[in-house]
Structure 1
């Protein structure tokens, strides 16, 4: 076994546990790892992040199913707009500049993280419950997932947070994890055009070596994350998610500025 990428195993456990507990896409962390540490091509990095999350979120899904923290009604409703959005976004990846997309998304993550943190700390009372399904936001979430392999969790979590069918914060995260898992599969398969498949085959040996350490790490982390937030305070979880998003934005923009893609 080639041990060149051994460090991806402990790193993958940490990343997967964090994203499973926050209900955000692991691509937020894996894209910078693949781009800036492993120096992979941007389009391959995006696709590899999707594949990584299929394994990691698949593990998280099993844990959330065991804990019964999945709201099937909301999962089915939000798959209706997110899946076509992911297909359209994935089809556009071959025509847009990946470097610019990374920078734009890094800025978006920072703004959203600060906004969510500010609103959470400032709020003195719980938001009123609703029974709305935000179809447009669902489509946008799927589109971002297909286009840049991330963004779905950031949009879906606020949409379902105060829905009247949600019983506790863990159910918000569990439902989001399942949506992300399914849409990840759709986005990864949609990107498989002949030119891209050829690029994967040309780098297959390196990619197999990488995934040898990544896959088992995200499977382990996917079990740890849901256990960590099962009984967490709702406001505390919002603050945690906000800080994670701000941290991610600093990491992405800092690496783009220092070394480029």
Structure 2
């Protein structure tokens, strides 16, 4: 049965979706620990509900970034070719591997990425967001936004991008998060894709991949003796409207943030999320 007990998740979801959409990090990165620690939901229910909520938020953001012309669909399709099948594989692995082990590994990984973001050297905030391609890099991409900004950039390590995206998709399928963070690391730090395009393209990749992974989790719930669909419906009836609104706010915030500030913020964000994931496991085992 649906209940109104989770009404307070509406404003919380707005805040989470705003941060997630401005950074390109999955909303489930925050929702899943919150559902477990704050609402005492079973881990599998928290993961599935976090993914489903994330799908709505990222779909809203997808339309916002698409309208602004900040999604590189060619680059996104290149990474989706590996993230979709690997995310489905992750939903299968989630039934076999203890979630606590996966979250500790992911938490440590986020701390490593945070150090890399915080130590990166960047251009000043006053420089143009347009990046010119290196004469020796490949493949090259050019994107013109709705405002007329022209972005030139190159992906010099496509194989590395696919590997990182595969790892992130596997984590997303298993524990609902990881793909957005690794997309951000590859696109922003390793490839120097301009931040508006990097975030918009990451939103496109995560939205499609999370949709596939959430369907996989819902199918698994349907096979249980007592499916938790009442709890899930009660939650998403408040989180979904919140993330739809927050995603629009976050997409507008992202185009106003200088890239170096965004990367420093993501580094700090990864530290918080990584420690939260590790602390979650510690509290559950104590």
TM-score by length of 1: 0.89
Q: Distance in 2 between matches of 1:187 and 1:2?
A: 26
| Residues 1:60 and 1:215: Cα distance change in structure 2 (over 3 Å) | same
| Structure 1 position 39, deviation (Å) | 1.0
Which of the pair is proportionally richer in helix? 1
Aligned counterparts, 1:1-261, within 5 A: 2-118=3-119, 120=120, 123=121, 130-132=154-156, 133=158, 134-161=161-188, 163=191, 166=193, 168-193=194-219, 196-199=221-224, 201-260=226-285
TM-score by length of 2: 0.82
| Structure 1 position 259, deviation (Å) | 4.2
Structure 1 unaligned blocks of 5 or more:
none
| Residues 1:34 and 1:186: Cα distance change in structure 2 (over 3 Å) | same
| Structure 1 position 143, deviation (Å) | 1.5
User: Deviations 1:178-229 (Å, cap 9, x if unpaired)?
Assistant: 10000001111223445x3244953222222111111101111111101001
| Structure 1 position 78, deviation (Å) | 0.8
| Structure 1 position 84, deviation (Å) | 1.6
Aligned to 2:94, the other structure's residue is in SS state helix
Q: For this pair of structures, how many residues does the alignment match?
A: 255
Aligned to 1:95, the other structure's residue is in SS state coil
| Residues 1:131 and 1:109: Cα distance change in structure 2 (over 3 Å) | closer
Query: Contact 2:14/2:245 (CA < 8 Å) preserved in 1?
Result: yes
| Structure 1 position 40, deviation (Å) | 1.1
Larger Rg: 2
Q: Distance in 2 between matches of 1:146 and 1:200?
A: 22
Cα RMSD of the aligned pairs, angstroms, is 2.3
| Structure 1 position 114, deviation (Å) | 2.4
User: Deviations 1:151-197 (Å, cap 9, x if unpaired)?
Assistant: 10111123223658x4x311110110010000001111223445x32
User: Deviations 1:120-171 (Å, cap 9, x if unpaired)?
Assistant: 2xx255996643322222222222211221110111123223658x4x3111
